[in-house]
């Protein structure tokens, strides 16, 4: 009986601790559950295109789970899941002259083009929900 009560007490303490951490979301917990890969790239392009780095990282997480070589059935490529035709247009708008589809596997290029496109959509629609 004492063992059962001790086990229940430990279980309650662990459950309470987990509930507290889950509800307060301390920084170490968030980094554990949602690691930010390519942090320098994300922060740099977020700054360049006046985006919240958390928003840019969230889009990447949603689109590719931070897999640089992700492919979709619709043909979207890379971290930001850009379609080649869209990326080609972005390359032209941003001064790129020698765009290759394989460029979209490069996290630096993919996030730069994706950040530009996200900024473009936010400016066009003036509403984050619509832009996303």
Handedness of CA 85, 80, 44, 122 (dihedral sign): positive
63 given a catalytic annotation: yes
> Please, are residues 66 and 60 in contact by the beta-carbon 8 Å criterion?
yes
Tokens (6 digits) for 114: 């994706």
Q: Spot the catalytic one: 39, 63, 108, 128.
A: 63
DSSP 11-56: HHHHHHHHHHHHHH--HHHHHHHS--TTHHHHHHHHHHTT--HHHH
Within 10 angstroms of residue 19's Cβ, the number of other Cβ atoms is 10
Task: Report, as residue numbers or ranges, the catalytic residues.
Answer: 63
């Amino acid at each position: 009986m004492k063992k059962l009560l001790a086990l229940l007490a430990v279980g309650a303490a662990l459950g309470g601790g987990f509930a507290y951490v889950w509800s307060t979301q301390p920084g170490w917990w968030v980094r554990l559950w949602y690691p930010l890969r390519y942090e320098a790239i994300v922060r740099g392009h977020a700054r360049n295109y006046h985006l919240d780095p958390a928003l840019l990282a969230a889009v990447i997480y949603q689109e590719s789970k931070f897999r640089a070589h992700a492919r979709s059935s619709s043909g979207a490529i890379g971290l930001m899941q850009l379609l080649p035709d869209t990326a080609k247009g972005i390359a032209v708008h941003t001064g790129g002259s020698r765009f290759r589809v394989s460029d979209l596997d490069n996290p630096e290029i993919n996030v730069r083009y994706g950040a530009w496109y996200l900024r473009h959509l936010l400016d066009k629609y003036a509403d984050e929900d619509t832009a996303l």
